[in-house]
Amino acid sequence: MENCFKFALVASLCIVIHFAQASRCPLSEQDQWKEFRNSCYFFSETSTTWQSAKESCEENGSHLVDILSRGENEFIHQRLNTYRYSEDYYIGATDRQHEGYFVWESTRSALGYKNWNVGEPNQHLGTPENCAEIKTDNGKWNDVPCDIVMRFICKRPVSRE
């Protein structure tokens, strides 16, 4: 009986270690975290405003995603397609501070790589559009009102252990 207990203990320890090594991103019940090039990405299943999305990312030790390269944008676009979900997702770009001057919220740095949709950002019809989304259909970005409710993407570095 005692040996049996020891075996169970070792076996469960192995499983814990296996998962710790297999995943450098947080584990979650619905498996929303995905790894790409030393970063972890969280694809929300709930919808909210841009500000609330930002806070939700920060509670997870992450920030609203900043997209710094074409490869990164393609990774995100592909993931959105695998969800076969038509809603667009908030990203971390905003021109809340200076109209027409978009920065990544997490670093306050100007956008380097950009992937705006044709005619965007357009501050549509003069309505304040100070937050940005990535479109699920083509992976392009669009400025939208910050109080629209939609899904969102967070990003953080992978764990180093």
Separation of alpha carbons 96 and 151, rounded Å: 20
DSSP letter, residue 125: G
Of residues 24, 47, 123, 158, which one binds Ca ion by CB under 5 A? 123
Shorter beta-carbon distance to Ca ion: residue 33 or 102: 102
Binding of residue 88 to Ca ion (CB under 5 A): no
Shorter beta-carbon distance to Ca ion: residue 119 or 161: 119
Separation of alpha carbons 119 and 121, rounded Å: 6
The count of other CB atoms within 10 Å of the CB of residue 90 is 31
Binding of residue 73 to Ca ion (CB under 5 A): no
Of residues 32, 44, 130, 136, which one binds Ca ion by CB under 5 A? 130
The residues, any chain, with a CB within 8 Å of residue 19's CB and separated by 6 or more, are 27
Shorter beta-carbon distance to Ca ion: residue 130 or 136: 130
Chain residues in the site for Ca ion (CB under 5 A) = 95, 120, 122-124, 129-130, 142-143
